[in-house]
Amino acid sequence: MSEKQPVTVSIARTVQPGYHRQFAAWAHAGQELAREWPGYLGSGWVRTAPDSDEWHVMYRFADVDSLQDWDDSQERRWWIDSAGEIMEITRVEHRTGIEGWFDQPGDVSIAVPETVVPPRWKQAVSIFLPFFPLSLLANFLLHPVTGHWPLVLSVLLNICLLTPLMTYLFLPLSTRLLRPWLQAPRKPRKGSAGR
């Protein structure tokens, strides 16, 4: 990558339950420390949902060299160490140029909800719950008409009727009713605090 391109770093951190106010204060302190660092362009932090334990801390520098100087600095090391055991790193990403999140220099402090993708097993449950009784009902109602049909045609009619019902009515209803369960934050993994 070109050394003259701005570099944005995104670090996903899992915060221990009950330490979110301390984490926000800690992130703000790091922002203040970095503000006077050569090449600093801006920073911010985003919480993935109001009740989530995952936060994304982002900061941007003018080029790779100024970012490396900040990352290796004693000030940053002191700031990272001051977090103690309240969090752990789960993912780190570096983006350059137009891939960065901040098109203009500046600081932000935001906490906006994002869509939480539920685990596949929860998605399967949310599909099964409406699909099983609907399929049973369709088979019961259609059997007098399709009982003597070839199996392929009987199943085809069933699927043709159930697919739009599931897509436009029952799946949206199911996911709306199950939303608190589907989008419940995952429990943080146990482990030591990271940088």
Task: Output the pLDDT for position 107.
Answer: 42
Q: Which pLDDT belongs to residue 101?
A: 42
**pLDDT tens digits, residue range 7-39?**
888 888 888 888 888 888 888 888 888 888 898
The predicted-structure confidence for 145-154, as pLDDT tens digits, reads as follows 998 999 999 9
At 40, list the tokens.
């600093």
- pLDDT score of 90 more than 50: yes
Query: Do the domain assignments include residue 2?
Result: no
Are 62 and 20 within one domain?
Answer: yes
Residue 195 lies in a domain: no
The mean pLDDT of 155-164, rounded to a whole number, is 91
Q: How many domains does the chain have?
A: 2
pLDDT of 133? 93
The pLDDT of residue 26 is 86
47-61 pLDDT per residue, tens: 777 778 888 888 888
Does residue 127 share a domain with residue 57? no
**Which of 32, 64, 99 is at the close of a domain?**
99
- Of 134, 140, 128, the closest CA to residue 162 belongs to 134
pLDDT digits (tens, 9 = 90+) for 96-145: 644 444 344 444 444 433 345 678 888 889 889 999 999 999 999 999 99
Residue 111, in any domain of the structure: no
Rounded Cα distance between 179 and 185, Å, is 11
- 49 within domain boundaries: yes
- Residue 15 makes CB contacts below 8 A (sequence gap 6+) with 23, 53, 54, 55, 86, 87, 188
189 part of a folded domain? no
pLDDT at 83: 81
Structural domain span for residue 11:
7-99
- The confidence score (pLDDT) of residue 6 equals 84
- Domain edge (last residue) among 66, 99, 132: 99
The answer to whether residues 31 and 64 belong to one domain is: yes
Final residue before a domain boundary, out of 34, 69, 99: 99
User: pLDDT at residue 3 above 60?
Assistant: no
Regarding whether 147 and 80 lie in a shared domain, the answer is: no
Q: Specify the CATH number for the domain of residue 76.
A: 3.30.70.100
